[in-house]
Structure 1
Amino acid sequence: MMIQSACRVLLLAFLIALPGFAVAEDAPSTLAEPDQQAIRQVIQSQLDAFQRDDAAAAYSYATPMIREKFGDARNFMQMVKQGYTPVYRPQSVAFDKLVDTEYGPDQVLRLIGPDGRAYTAHYMMQKQVDGTWMINGCYLTRAEDQNV
C-alpha cells in the first residue's frame, strides 16, 4: 500500500511537471561536459545496480527527497520492479539528449523493455550541495517505432 501511494505521488509530480518538458525539448543542456558525464555515470550505475538486484546501491543514487518517499531500499526496488520494468530489465539502453528544464537537467534515454517494446525514460537530475549528481525522479513513456 505504501509503495502504491508513493508511486501515485511521484506520478502526480511528474504529470504536473510535464508542461515544462515540452518547452525544454529544444533546449540542449548548457552543463559543462564533466557534469554531463557525471549524470550519465550516475544513471548507468543505477541501471547496473538494477541488473545485479542490488537494491541498496540503486537506492543510493536517488536524491534524499526520493529516498524519504520510499523509506528504504526494499520499498524503492519493489516500486521499480512493479512500475518501471523497462528500466529494471531493459534489453537495450541508449543515452539520448540532455536538456535543461525549469526542474533541472533531464537526461533522456531510449530503452527496449523486456517486452520488446520501445520506451523513453526521462531522468530528472539534481546537483547536491557536495557537487554530486543524483536522480530526482524518472518517468517513462511508450515510444512508437523507436530503434535503440
Structure 2
Amino acid sequence: MKITDSDSVAIRYVIERQLEAFQKDDTAGAFAFASPEIQVQFRNPENFIQMVRLSYPAVYRPRSVFFEKITTIHGKITQLVLLLGPDGVPVRALYLMEKQPDSTWKINGCVLIPVEAEIN
C-alpha cells in the first residue's frame, strides 16, 4: 500500500489524539481511535484503558514523544514512535495502523520494543 503525505499526516494525528486522550484519562476518546477489531476485543473503553495503563505505561503517560518513519512490517503499515516512559526509559512503539472503509485511519495494535532492538 502506498502511503501518501495526507496518510502520514492522518496517521500522526490519530496517534497524537489518542496519546492526548490517555493524558486526560478520556477513556471514550482514546477508545475511539482504536480499530473495530481492538474495540471488539476489549468490549468497552474502561477495559481498554485499564490494559493500556497496566501494560503500556510509556504509551499511557509518556514524558516525551518523537515520531519516526512510517514503514511496512509484515505487510502492515506501521508508524514508529520513540517514547520516553514515565520511568525515564526510552522505548520504540510500533503502531500498527489500519485504513478504514471511510478512508480514516485507526490504531490496530501497538508493540513496544527496546530502543536497542533492530527493526527488520
Band the TM-score falls in, shorter-chain normalisation: over 0.9
Corresponding residue number in structure 2 for 1:33: 5
RMSD: 1.2
Gaps of 5+ in 1: 1-28
Q: 2:68 aligns with which of 96, 114, 130?
A: 96
Corresponding residue number in structure 1 for 2:26: 54
Q: Aligned with 2:69: secondary structure?
A: strand
Q: Which has the higher helix share?
A: 1
Gaps of 5+ in 2: none
* % same residue: 46
Q: Which has the higher strand share?
A: 2
CA distance in 1, matches of 2:90, 2:74: 27
CA distance in 1, matches of 2:37, 2:52: 16
Q: Give the Å deviation of 1:30.
A: 3.7
Q: Give the Å deviation of 1:71.
A: 0.5
Q: 1:138 aligns with which of 107, 110, 115?
A: 110
Letter of the 2:68 partner, please give it.
Answer: D
Q: Normalising by structure 1, what TM-score?
A: 0.76
CA distance in 2, matches of 1:54, 1:138: 19
Which consecutive aligned stretches of 4+ in structure 1 deviate over 6 angstroms post-superposition? Answer: none
Q: Normalising by structure 2, what TM-score?
A: 0.93
Corresponding residue number in structure 2 for 1:77: 49
